[in-house]
Amino acid sequence: MSTKSITVAIVEDSPGLRNSFEAILQRAPGLKWVGSFADGEQAVRDLPALRPQVVLMDINLPGMSGVQCVAHLAHTLPDTALIMVTVHDDTDAIFDSLAAGAGGYLLKPVRSAQLIAAISEILAGGAPMSANIARRVVQAFRIPPAPAAELVHLAPREREILDFLVKGLLLKEIAGHLGISYWTVQEYTARIYQKLHVHSRSQAVAKYLGK
């Protein structure tokens, strides 16, 4: 068996958490910390040269969000496993992250053993998630299918935006595709939720896919 260490990088804006994660990685046998970044822009620019096997990613970053950063890295580093490590446990944050390319989702605070196990699991082909996150994912797909009448009530532009939501695009990306403002997309999305009787992107997508 190869004794080569697993290379791991960190994208986290909190200096205290960065230091904590670095200490965990430096102490753990078989893991090698290769770099840390305080924002997504720096990570997108410099991570490709490091080519880590795993990246630990926060969502709430200054400037570019962690979800946007994951979307970039999933394209430029397709062989790198991306794990969200965040305080955000709302359904939209979870599904936006997974749709962008994250393969795991852990809630802070994260114990050393949990973090190390998640890194091993994702490289073994698994999808490490905190227990309540996995439960939310399962529950999201138990939303009853949308009656045909609900979907018929969607205007053509609303259906177009819902199609983009199903494909996992962020609202900013949808705005770019359609040539309209982010706020206009947000207004359309709110109307879609109202017409489908849902409260989040994941519920809207689940209803659409179950029709």
From the list 129, 132, 108, the residue with the least C-alpha distance to 14 is 108
Do 202 and 134 sit in the same domain of this protein? no
Per the domain annotation, does 102 fall within a domain?
yes
Do 130 and 168 sit in the same domain of this protein? no
Helix axes 112-123, 15-27, angle to 10 degrees: 70
| Bridge-based pairing state of the strands 31-37 and 54-57 | unpaired
Do 175 and 132 sit in the same domain of this protein? no
The mean pLDDT values, 10 residues at a time, for the chain of 211 residues are: 80 95 94 96 95 95 91 93 90 82 92 94 92 78 55 82 86 89 89 85 78 51
Per the domain annotation, does 123 fall within a domain?
yes
Do 11 and 102 sit in the same domain of this protein? yes
Residue 84: φ, ψ to 5°: -75, 135
Do 62 and 155 sit in the same domain of this protein? no
Number of Cβ within 10 Å of residue 92's Cβ equals 15
Single-letter amino acid, residue 206: A
Structural domain that includes position 204: 148-209
Domain end: 87, 104, 139, which one? Answer: 139
Domain end: 139, 161, 186, which one? Answer: 139
Do 159 and 134 sit in the same domain of this protein? no
pLDDT at 200: 82
CATH code assigned at 196: 1.10.10.10
**56 three-class SS:** strand
Per the domain annotation, does 14 fall within a domain?
yes
Domain end: 91, 114, 139, which one? Answer: 139
pLDDT at 149: 52
Per the domain annotation, does 116 fall within a domain?
yes
pLDDT at 33: 96
Per the domain annotation, does 168 fall within a domain?
yes
Instruction: Record the tokens describing residue 17, joined without a space.
Output: 């958490």
pLDDT at 145: 52
Do 103 and 33 sit in the same domain of this protein? yes
Per the domain annotation, does 17 fall within a domain?
yes
Residue with tokens 């018929």: 152
Number of structural domains (the chain) is: 2
Is residue 58 within 8 Å of residue 40, measured between CB atoms? no
Per the domain annotation, does 1 fall within a domain?
no
Per the domain annotation, does 100 fall within a domain?
yes
Do 122 and 152 sit in the same domain of this protein? no
